[in-house]
Amino acid sequence: MGTLLVHISDTPEPGELAHLRARLDAGVELTLGPDLPADPSFEVLVAGVPSAEELDASPVLGVLLIPWAGLPRATRALMLERPEIAVHNIHHNAVAASELAAALLLAAAKRVVPLDAALRRNDWRPRYEQNQAVLLEGKRALVLGYGAVGRRIAAVCRGLGMSISAIRRRAGEATAGCPDQIHTPEALHDLLPRADALLIALPFTEATKGLIGEEELSLLPRDAIVVNVARGRVVEERALYRALAGRAIRAAGIDVWYNYPESEDDRQHTPPSEFPFHELSNVVMSPHRAGAFGVGELEAARTEALADAINAAARGEEIPFRVDVREGY
Amino acid sequence: MGTLLVHISDTPEPGELAHLRARLDAGVELTLGPDLPADPSFEVLVAGVPSAEELDASPVLGVLLIPWAGLPRATRALMLERPEIAVHNIHHNAVAASELAAALLLAAAKRVVPLDAALRRNDWRPRYEQNQAVLLEGKRALVLGYGAVGRRIAAVCRGLGMSISAIRRRAGEATAGCPDQIHTPEALHDLLPRADALLIALPFTEATKGLIGEEELSLLPRDAIVVNVARGRVVEERALYRALAGRAIRAAGIDVWYNYPESEDDRQHTPPSEFPFHELSNVVMSPHRAGAFGVGELEAARTEALADAINAAARGEEIPFRVDVREGY
């Protein structure tokens, strides 16, 4: 077996690095960033947001491996200019994302957050008020995006006794044994008026940016619940705020936002939107947890997914999760 | 068809009463409380907490119908002395209770409440912290009580990819096609050490009072989540508080409590426990919503369940949900 040189831009934590090395085939040799090795001849670069310099340093670079789900916009631009480098990413976070989507759906349906706040003040009045909760059994869930995340969301919704419709771009793919109705994106406007819950697990691409806007939100039933664990801008910011504030929809559970901290210092005081979502009692606000940072069990899974991809490259096998750079996912 | 006289102690709201009358068979005649009819000869009494006077007023009373799930302690005492009167109740709230249990499990597992509070203050720091969430896929749920509520809870947990063990008293009952492991109560201590989630949906009886105490909580894994939608005192109050405050378990979602408002005025300022659960960030506090007061869809279901039970009595058919007064459920 030959040798595969792999450069990792962001040096992993010592524990993660040890876990990674333990999983890698014998022929894999690692160099670690942020500096480039003196004589760059790596065939695989592990980086989420690589620089042009990193991408152009090694004449034999054939694979960019993004160590999370998604394709950052800046990376897409660079890779469109370098079609000879294959882009892959990893999807270790599908479990975390789908469970968070279920948590946000149920919290929004049952008003878990405001009722918890009231009872902590010894206030039981919401117990006796009308319309504090909506039932999910017998209702319809519309799942946008039917990949590793969307399918898991659908399974939980089935467990709740909901019926499931899903939309995915590649409707032709195998769905053997799948109990859900799978549609292509053209069906969106027909499906929205019957969607009691709209669960968004799409990749963020030019085609999905702003996919859910004022018109789409207005097509939903007034008791509908919207959950977004994909990327914020799949849903138009102003339209979402206005639909919630004006009770055009019942509630939302939102994990992905419009404005993010750019530095560690900013983490304490970065509004997630230019609109005052924090004033609304019918939104559950989650700080982009679907990526599963710091979920110990998943940090291990992330490392293992990386090792599996690198080992596949070393063995000349097919590397999982090829990204279509033009499509953006 | 003959006539069946039915007395309802608490006069329903006008809308509910109209809905009830519309569902009742032609031969059913209603009298409405709180006063007893002048010449009491009702065969069915609808009352949750009847007085001895009501129970003894009619010489032909054969059925007490409790218009919710459960058997209040005071009612049990009265009915033990009147074994000639059959007691039935209704279980219209199973959907609401099971969905709430799932909501509390997921909210506790994902720390939905404290993370929502932080992001409303523009604080993203929990996003980057370790150990903010636990995964459920691949974990084991232990469901205590495998009736209409427990089975639905199990179905949601299966949808989450959990494996399910359940405990019920009457282990011999049919479980055709049931994918879950069903045990008798003797297995409790053996099952607790492998229970990543303990979901309590038992009736409250002499046998279940304090069933989960200090010893049982200490047998759970340290990352376990406890959810109670049954009755508060199935779980010992002090032991639960101490397990949460001391992080002997990871988190809890609690819908049922130890102290309730006794009047409408009390609803604004009744502590649910003598212990300061409200100071804990690892408990989700819910104001006994599983009973589904004010869930519009279920108020209709409650009325329909009552009508079905009354119609069964009028037709001489078996009335559903007979309560074993000695067993207490």
pLDDT in tens, B193-228: 999 999 999 988 888 999 999 999 999 999 999 999
- Residue-wise pLDDT tens digits, B165-174: 999 987 655 5
CATH class of A4-92+296-315: alpha beta
Tell which residue, A329, A325, A323, A262, has the closest CA to residue A77: A325
Interface contact flag, A104 B116, Cβ < 8 Å: no
Helix and strand numbers (H, E) in chain B are 10, 12
Q: Which residues lie below 8 Å from residue B130, measured CB to CB, with a gap of 6+?
A: A294, A296
Tell me, what's the pLDDT at A177? 67
Q: Alpha carbon A77 to chain centroid distance?
A: 20
Tell me, what's the pLDDT at B87? 97
Tell which residue, A65, A52, A48, has the closest CA to residue A4: A65
Interface contact flag, A127 B156, Cβ < 8 Å: no
| B272: chain A residues, CB-CB within 8 Å | 119, 122, 124
- Residue-wise pLDDT tens digits, B173-192: 556 667 788 999 999 999 99
Query: In angstroms, what separates the C-alpha of A69 from chain B's closest C-alpha?
Result: 17
Tell which residue, B29, B43, B24, has the closest CA to residue B308: B24
- At A232, the pLDDT band (50, 70, 90 cuts) reads very high
Cα separation, B232 vs B219, in Å, equals 20
Q: Which of A110, A143, A227, A229 to mutate to test the interface with B (most CBs of B within 10 A)?
A: A110
The whole-model pTM stands at 0.87
Query: In angstroms, what separates the C-alpha of B48 from chain A's closest C-alpha?
Result: 17
Tell me, what's the pLDDT at B82? 97
In this structure, the strands spanning B86-89 and B140-144 are unpaired
Tell me, what's the pLDDT at A133? 87
- Interface check for A102 against chain B (CB to CB < 8 A): the answer is yes
Cα separation, A101 vs A154, in Å, equals 10
Tell me, what's the pLDDT at B302? 86
| Mean pLDDT score, A35-58 | 95
Q: What is the domain partition of chain A in residue ranges? A: 4-92+296-315, 94-285
Interface contact flag, A161 B95, Cβ < 8 Å: yes
Residue A270 CB-half CA count within 13 A: 16
Q: Which residues lie below 8 Å from residue B246, measured CB to CB, with a gap of 6+?
A: none
Of A122, A160, A270, the CB nearest to B122: A270
DSSP letter assigned to residue A119: H
Interface contact flag, B155 A155, Cβ < 8 Å: no
Q: Which of B135, B157, B258, B262 to mutate to test the interface with A (most CBs of A within 10 A)?
A: B135
Top pLDDT among A93 and B294 is at A93
Top pLDDT among A91 and A101 is at A101
Of B125, B133, B159, the CB nearest to A295: B133
- Interface check for B116 against chain A (CB to CB < 8 A): the answer is yes
- At A154, the pLDDT band (50, 70, 90 cuts) reads very high
The CATH superfamily label for domain B94-285 reads: NAD(P)-binding Rossmann-like Domain (3.40.50.720)
Tell me, what's the pLDDT at A294? 64
| Mean pLDDT score, A69-88 | 94
Interface contact flag, B295 A133, Cβ < 8 Å: yes
Q: Which of B289, B298, B302 to mutate to test the interface with A (most CBs of A within 10 A)?
A: B289
Tell me, what's the pLDDT at B114? 97
Interface contact flag, A119 B285, Cβ < 8 Å: yes
Q: Which CATH number fits domain B4-92+296-314: 3.40.50.720, 1.10.1660.10, 3.30.70.120, 3.30.70.270?
A: 3.40.50.720
Contact A48, A30 (CB under 8 A): no
Q: List all residues of chain A from 246 to 285 with a beta carbon under 8 Å from chain B.
A: 260-261, 267-272, 278, 284-285
Query: B4-92+296-314 with B94-285: one CATH topology?
Result: yes
Q: What type of residue sits at position B89?
A: N
Interface contact flag, A107 B102, Cβ < 8 Å: no
Q: Is the pLDDT of residue A295 over 90?
A: no
Contact A44, A6 (CB under 8 A): yes
Tell me, what's the pLDDT at B314? 95
Of A95, A121, A294, the CB nearest to B129: A294
Top pLDDT among B176 and A231 is at A231
Interface contact flag, A157 B159, Cβ < 8 Å: yes
Residues of chain B with pLDDT under 50: none
- Is the bond leading into B34 cis (omega within 30 degrees of zero)? yes
- Interface check for A116 against chain B (CB to CB < 8 A): the answer is yes
Chain A residue closest in CA terms to B107? A103
Tell me, what's the pLDDT at B172? 55
| Mean pLDDT score, A41-52 | 96
Q: Which of B125, B127, B134 to mutate to test the interface with A (most CBs of A within 10 A)?
A: B127
Tell me, what's the pLDDT at B292? 67
Top pLDDT among B104 and A72 is at B104
Size of interface A-B (CB pairs under 8 A): 212
Q: List all residues of chain A from 1 to 60 with a beta carbon under 8 Å from chain B.
A: none
- At A176, the pLDDT band (50, 70, 90 cuts) reads low
Query: In angstroms, what separates the C-alpha of A44 from chain B's closest C-alpha?
Result: 28
| Mean pLDDT score, A68-81 | 92
- Interface check for B158 against chain A (CB to CB < 8 A): the answer is yes
Tell which residue, A272, A205, A204, A277, has the closest CA to residue A240: A277
DSSP letter assigned to residue A169: S
* Lowest mean per-residue pLDDT among A1-5, A73-77, A151-155, B196-200: A1-5
Q: List alpha helices for A87-185, DSSP H.
A: 94-110, 112-120, 148-159
| B197: chain A residues, CB-CB within 8 Å | none
